[in-house]
Structure 1
Amino acid sequence: MGHLSPITEAEVVPLHGVNGPTLDEIGLAAWIAQAEPGEALVYHRGFLAVDATSVISKLPADRQRTLQLVAAAARRAAEQNLVHLVQSRLGPDAFAYIAVARPKPGPSGAALSMRLLEAA
């Protein structure tokens, strides 16, 4: 089994920032479709379990729902072997949730499109 090198800041695609637009399911699927193996995407910064739970989250309801959908899509993509999901601790109760692109399974085209649809 090979050794994975740590992900550096330069290798992480920041699709959203603290005040930037929120990543949605379509953005995640688009990134997965074009990402090269080993490329990484931070799809959330914070504490996912808290931020996606309405009774304790400080996020607005629409951001909570988007986060729930993106997290579920990331999990489905991992189940389809399209990405690895990892976390990096940023501080107390703060994490970066990262999707790392895996090699695309089989030939691209319709087969990959179907896997992406299943993951979305």
Structure 2
Amino acid sequence: MRPGHPHVPTTTTTTREPVTEIAFCAWIAQSTPGDRLEYHRGFLALDAYPMFSRLTDAARKELQRLGTRAFWAAEQDLVHLLQKRIGEERFSYIAVARPKAKVPVIPFSDLVPGNTAPLASSPSPTASN
């Protein structure tokens, strides 16, 4: 353990049912940095390939969407993707949530078309000159 970097135990969320693309996106939206989700268990490249997959067509297509979305999320710096070998040709595919980017807050008044000044500086309708 490095000084100033205490070991924080990690827990990986696993599910009995396959994770869908929508569930994966929902997890990303609700996750905090360091949260972990096992999004597939098996051999993703083979499980998603029609010739080798033992999954139904619908389940295989959903797995393909999930794999594509996981890769996209990693490219967007939303998650780190890990693989852990758990047996012969069997892996645990894990997404680790990254810190979310700080997005500047845009006041609603700045989004109103034709508004050139902030609402706070607009003259009061009852003010007289």
Normalising by the smaller structure, the TM-score range is 0.7 to 0.9
Q: Residue type matched to 1:25 in 2?
A: E
Larger radius of gyration: 2
Root-mean-square deviation over aligned CA pairs: 2.3
Match of 1:13 in 2: 13
Aligned: 1:31 with 2:27: yes
Q: 1:91 to 1:108 in 2, by over 3 A?
A: farther
Question: Taking CA–CA contacts closer than 8 Å with sequence separation of 6 or more, which of the two structures ends up with the larger relative contact order?
Answer: 1
Aligned: 1:93 with 2:89: yes
Match of 1:116 in 2: none
Structure 2 length-normalised TM:
0.71
Aligned: 1:55 with 2:73: no
Gaps of 5+ in 1: 111-120
Q: Distance in 1 between matches of 2:94 and 2:105?
A: 25
Which is richer in helix? Answer: 1
Cα deviation 1:60-93 (Å, max 9, x = unaligned): 1111000000010000000000000000000000
Structure 1's consecutive aligned runs of 4 or more residues displaced over 3 angstroms after TM superposition are: 5-8
Structure 1 length-normalised TM:
0.77
Q: Residue type matched to 2:38 in 1?
A: V
Gaps of 5+ in 2: 107-129
Task: Tell me which of 63, 68, 72 is aligned to 1:72.
Answer: 68
Q: What percentage of aligned pairs have identical amino acids?
A: 45
